[in-house]
Copies of this chain bind each other. A is one copy, B any other.
Amino acid sequence: MAELNILEAIRAAMDEEMERDERVMILGEDVGRKGGVFGATEGLWAKYGDKRVLDTPLSEGMIAGAAMGAAVYGLRPVAEIQFADFVYPGFNQIVSEISRIHYRSNGTFSAPMVIRMPYGGGVHGALYHSQSNEAYFTHTVGLKIVAPGTPADAKGLLKSSIRDPDPVMFFEHKKTYRLFRAEVPDGDTVVPIGKAVVAREGKDLSIFCYGFMRTCALEAAETLAGEDGVEAEVVDLRTLRPLDLETILASVEKTGKALVVHEANRFGGFGAEIAAEISEKAFEHLDGPVTRLAGPEVPGVPFHHALEDWFMIGPPRIVDAARKLAAY
């Protein structure tokens, strides 16, 4: 087993899938010779050439739309959007076209493709290089939404996403890219889309999270265990759509309390869906209000480090929220 960070895991997934399936191609801004602004595609241009690792003009609409055309034609495009914040010029193609072509054609066409997007804050990127905009996509029927939190999940889920017959949006929290290394199974190991994982067992309350928040929640759980004797169960959703309700409800049935954590602003965020589902489907198991902890209601992460720190959710705020809920 190799020790990889998330960025390396993502690169390895693309490399392996391009090796085994010549329909797989990469397109995006600066993905070729430069290897991507974060280096996710480093080395692939040299290995697979100019066409299969294609530098596009600066047009996200074009990237999404052309990827869809190629997917319908029979390729397996992996499109990189340089920052999730810059996906909006491609929103029309994603929401009107990519998500709907299978249904609207009565199942006779489909768009098997992946859109990879670095998202999230804490990297001094301010309003437009820090967004967690997953909720715009999780509401969109026809898309699958993945947001891994570990190198093994990043690799295994990206491989699954590339093979998936449906369009997948793949959210990579950019703060996690080089955050830590961990073991990644060698060889052709995939992680299935649609399965959450219990990252830490606990009996007192459940914390639901994904992406970078997995790391924060696990750290918070250790603090809670050490300082409060509270055993938090941490559930890493990994896939946001389709949501693994079975694992979520099983956890709530066990602990009776649910804390939902994400970095995006709270109002209408993805946490609302999780909270609403739990409160409807696990009503009789709840020993306390389903609680959401989310980014503040401002239009983005502000730049200055003091303001950014104010915005970001880290282990201490999770500990606070969990303490309150545990004491309920």
Contact = CB atoms under 8 A, between A and B. Distances in A.
Interface of A: 85, 88-89, 91-92, 95-96, 99-100, 102-104, 127-128, 135-136, 138-142, 241, 243, 264-265, 267-273, 275-276, 278-281, 283, 286, 288-292, 297-300
Nearest to A296: B141
Task: Identify which of A103, A273, A276, A298 gathers the most chain B CB atoms within 10 Å of its CB.
Answer: A276
Contacts of A95: 88, 136
A245 to B, nearest CB: 11
Which 4 residue pairs of A and B lie closest in terms of their CB atoms, listed nearest first? Answer: A139-B268, A279-B279, A88-B92, A283-B289
B267 A100 contact: no
B280 A275 contact: yes
Given A141-B267, A279-B289, A281-B289, A103 B273 contact: no
A282 B297 CA distance: 21
A286 B264 CA distance: 28
B272 A283 contact: no
B139 A267 contact: yes
Contacts of A140: 268, 299
Given A91-B91, A299-B99, A300-B103, A270 B268 contact: yes
A226 to B, nearest CB: 27
A270 to B, nearest CB: 7
A128 B92 CA distance: 12
B100 A127 contact: yes
Given A280-B290, A289-B280, A268 B135 contact: yes
Contact of A141 (B128, B270, B281, B298): B298
A276 B278 CA distance: 9
A304 to B, nearest CB: 11
A86 to B, nearest CB: 9
